[in-house]
Amino acid sequence: MNKFFILFLFISQQVFAISVDKMIVVSKGNNDSSIITVMNDDSYPVFVKAQLSELMPDGKSKLFDNHDFKQWPIYLNHTDFIIDPKSRVKITVNNLQEMLGNKENKDRIIGISFIPESYEKNNSSEKSLNILTGFKVWYIIPNNLKEVTGNVTYKKESAGKYDVFNNTDTVLTFNINACQAMNVELNNECSDTIMILSGKKKTINLNKAEQGTVVITAQDYRDRFKKKINIKI
């Protein structure tokens, strides 16, 4: 009896999932909008609801009130939509703060959660439990101050591993070039790009760099800051 019940649950459950083409988006500036593509790879239509939240300094997320949408920092062209089977929908994200000329003294990290629900209409004789998987995309709004304050540093953590610190007041990209230290031509195996939030660090693995200099170039998303770090191996 128990085996039959478990088998019934297994075959009566249907799993619906959506996916997105990117997990992190950084506001481009210059009033340019960003595009997030939401895809439905299933054989049933899926209803999707977008929900906004903000990552606060204490690490907790604060949901935005739907009744106070005028205070939202971003605008989505669709917050409720249906994705047909094997189809995709492009969601446009606009930075309202920039469009309205509002100043941001610090970076803001907005969570855009895409929450799916099955749009399938089951027959009365069918009893199925639809399990759905959603995604949260992080939309980062860099501050729009005139200058970037602070600096970037690194520290050797252990053999072949280094901590890279972003001690500035805004999110930065770090372009890592270890090709010379690996004695190879520039390619994807010896170079990488990472993003580090303000006040955070990331550990990079340079075990394959045998001898020479690893060059790391840090820069912000508003062309205000650029610095090179040379790590001697």
Per-residue pLDDT tens over the stretch 67-116: 777 778 999 999 999 999 999 999 999 998 888 888 889 999 999 999 98
DSSP labels for 66-107?
Answer: GGGGGG-SEEES-SEEEE-TTEEEEEEEEEHHHHTT---SS-
Q: Which range in 10-19, 54-63, 114-123, 209-218 is most confidently predicted, on average pLDDT? A: 209-218
CA 84 vs. chain centroid, Å, equals 25
Question: Which domains can be identified in the chain, with CATH numbers?
Answer: 15-141 (2.60.40.10), 152-232 (2.60.40)
Closest C-alpha to 138, from 171, 170, 110: 110
Asked whether the whole model's pTM tops 0.95, one would answer no
Per-residue pLDDT tens over the stretch 166-204: 999 999 999 999 999 999 988 888 999 999 999 999 999
Per-residue pLDDT tens over the stretch 122-168: 444 444 445 556 789 999 999 999 999 999 999 999 999 999 999 99
In the predicted model, what is the mean pLDDT of residues 206-216? Answer: 94
Closest C-alpha to 107, from 144, 61, 150: 144
Measured from the Cβ of residue 108, the count of other Cβ atoms closer than 10 Å reads: 19
Exposed, middle or buried: residue 156 (CB in 10 Å: 0-12, 13-18, 19+)? exposed
pLDDT-based confidence at residue 57 (cuts at 50, 70, 90): confident
Per-residue pLDDT tens over the stretch 12-39: 444 557 899 999 999 988 788 999 999 9
Give the separation between CA 216 and CA 179, rounded to whole angstroms: 11
| CB-side neighbour CA atoms (13 Å) of 104 | 23
